[in-house]
Structure 1
Amino acid sequence: MTISKFKATCLSELEKIRKTGEPLLITKRGVPIAQVVPPPPPRGMKSGFGCMRDSIQIHEDIVGPVEEEDWESLK
Structure 2
Amino acid sequence: MSIRTVSKSQFKAKALEYFRQVETSGESIIVTNHGQPVLEVRVYRDTRQNPLETLRGSVLRYVDPTAPVDAEWEAAE
The TM-score normalised by the length of structure 2 is: 0.52
Higher strand share: 2
Quote how far apart the aligned CAs of 1:4 are: 0.3
Paired with 2:47 and 2:23, the residues of 1 have a C-alpha distance of 14
Give structure 1 regions of 4+ aligned residues with deviation exceeding 6 angstroms: none
Identity across aligned pairs (percent)?
Answer: 28
- The alignment of Structure 1 onto Structure 2 pairs a total of residues equal to 44
Other-structure match for 1:13: 18
Quote how far apart the aligned CAs of 1:40 are: 1.0
Taking only aligned residues, the RMSD between alpha carbons, in angstroms, comes to 1.9
The TM-score normalised by the length of structure 1 is: 0.53
**Gaps in structure 2 of 5+ consecutive residues:** 1-5, 49-77
- The structure having more radius of gyration, on CA atoms, is 1
Q: What is the aligned counterpart of 1:23 among 28, 47, 52?
A: 28
**Gaps in structure 1 of 5+ consecutive residues:** 44-75
